Amino acid sequence: AQSVTQLGSHVSVSEGALVLLRCNYSSSVPPYLFWYVQYPNQGLQLLLKYTSAATLVKGINGFEAEFKKSETSFHLTKPSAHMSDAAEYFCAVIYTGTASKLTFGTGTRLQVTL
């Protein structure tokens, strides 16, 4: 079955440290790839998306993600974490032929400490 795997349900980093959130998809055909962020008691906000125009995608709030076909990965990074980055992050994919159905990973809660 087509799925999305996010390694690490909880990641804790110090303020100013590198943020790395992992996402792997399960398809030989690259799907559409997205990262969404959810702040407490709020909806989902799109951080960035892979459009096949470039393997390194820049998003909002200083986040970026790199698409690696050989590793079927789309990991999210930010060079320097800020307290305001604390939230739940979801990787999501739309696989070919699924009528735009978003399949979400299980989410990674990012905690940022002083």
Question: Is the CB of 25 or the CB of 36 nearer to other proteins?
Answer: 36
- C-alpha to C-alpha distance for 102 and 64, rounded to whole angstroms: 20
Question: Contact 29/70 with Cβ under 8 angstroms?
Answer: no
Stretch that binds other proteins, among 12-20, 21-29, 74-82, 96-104 (CB under 8 A): 96-104
- Strands 56-58, 4-5: pairing is unpaired
Show the binding pattern over residues 74-93: x = contacts other proteins (CB under 8 A), - = does not: --------------x-x-x-
Length of the chain: 114
* Binding of residue 44 to other proteins (CB under 8 A): yes
| Shortest Å, Cβ 112 to other proteins | 18
- C-alpha to C-alpha distance for 87 and 35, rounded to whole angstroms: 12
* Binding of residue 55 to other proteins (CB under 8 A): no
